[in-house]
Structure 1
Amino acid sequence: MALSKPSPTLYVSNLETKTKKPELKASLYSLFTPYGQVIDIVAKKNGGGRGQAFIVFAEQAGATAALRALSGGLFYNKELSISYAKAPSNATLSRQDPSLSREKAAIEAAKLVVSNAQGEYEQLEKEREADEAVLRGEKREAIDEDGESTGRDAKRLKGNEQENEEDEEEMELDDEDEDDQPSLICSNLPPECNEDIMSALFSQYTGFSSVSSFTASIPKSHPKSNTGSRSFLIKFDSVEGLKKAESETKGYLMQPGWEMSVSQK
């Protein structure tokens, strides 16, 4: 156990290798979070990273407290080997220098994609307007010559309108299907809890689809949440997986004093 070079990131080895990665990360979070705010957990289930994980704390004191309290303890019936990590984690670097944040890089990349898409959209709009101008000119010519629009133009315009209406109806149906997707509302989660942690917890259940922050009113059936708590919406593709997840995670303790409330939306 190397104490000479303290770090907010702990290197944990001799972990059980048969446990699924989402369950392993959720269990590690529950084990280490009582000693301080855990901002990231990196665990691999293949290659040279089997049986190893990195626990990233927001503060050095939390990492030190966890190292001293948990070193040599049993975790899944195996003795934990814990030491300070030799290099700072990406999560730590991003807190020290926001320009190094992976999230910021992803946001900048997304902005570039949106910008390019906006340019393509504007170009398509110009081309569409030009085509409509040509079509209006052809219609005027046909009216000047014959006194009325040709049946072919009328049918084409009517057909375009019908296709647009069908597309709008299909989009509305898609929206309705998405709204009807089976979901769980989870409340009273610690402020440091995020989508990655919730995804790790619920991805072990069949039919898990996605997780997002929930900002609407919490159901009255939920007990009063702690101050500063967060809520999440967990979506499933199947009711069977949802019901099992609801049954097994209701009352789950992310950390002492934070009992998670779970109900169907």
Structure 2
Amino acid sequence: MALAKPSPTLYVSNLETKTKKPELKASLYSLFTPYGQVIDIVAKKHGGGRGQAFIVFAEQASATAALRGLSGEIFYDKELSISYAKSPSNTTLSRQDPSLSREKAAMEAAKLVVSNAQGEYEQLEKEREADEAALRGEKRDLDTEENEGGEGRDPKRQKGNGEEEEEEEMELDEEDDEQDNHPSLICTNLPPECNSDIMSALFSQYTGLISITSYNSPVPKSHPTPNKGSKSFLVKFDTAANSKKAEEETKGYLMQPGWEMGVSSK
């Protein structure tokens, strides 16, 4: 039995293999703890670790005393074989240098994963905002071209052709009338950070949703008194039945504590 390389960790072999792991560890603890403070026991019941265990003491002297006192001891009808472990245990290393702790390494790895995910999310948000800004710029350019007289315009729509202008105005009026005929809900007392995307997420669960736009008219008296800085939205549906169902299920909805949403049919 080699004692040339003392260690606070003992390697124990020739253990009985039929005993369940919790019972085996408890019995080993009872056997070795009289020799000093046992801070960890590693016992495996599968693969190449069957019949083996590592007993980790807080002090080197305790391990040496246990090795001398228990070598050859009969344990579950088998003679124990005990020697110093060839390398220090993870428990011993973490006590000597906390930065080597497996738990700390796992926490650092988890923090890195979260940080990377946050970075990817922020990058995607920047790309989305850039795409939206580009689309807004293209729309402004298109509107400018349409508003300029002369090139690119249909001669039938140019000023001076009263008949065509009148026809166009009638078509626009008919479209506005058709849109105004859609059943709508007035939603008020929403937090300043609320936007069309958040409202769409709330109302998209209801059948027949057509559009969600900002509402700037006076708040109906039946609604709760709006908080300072609150926003309002107009939500349009295809049928009165679908609009009514959404109204009944979202009236009084709390987007956040203290912000009870007012909902009523327009």
Please say which structure displays the higher CA radius of gyration.
2
TM-score, normalising length: structure 2: 0.49
TM-score when normalising by structure 1: 0.49
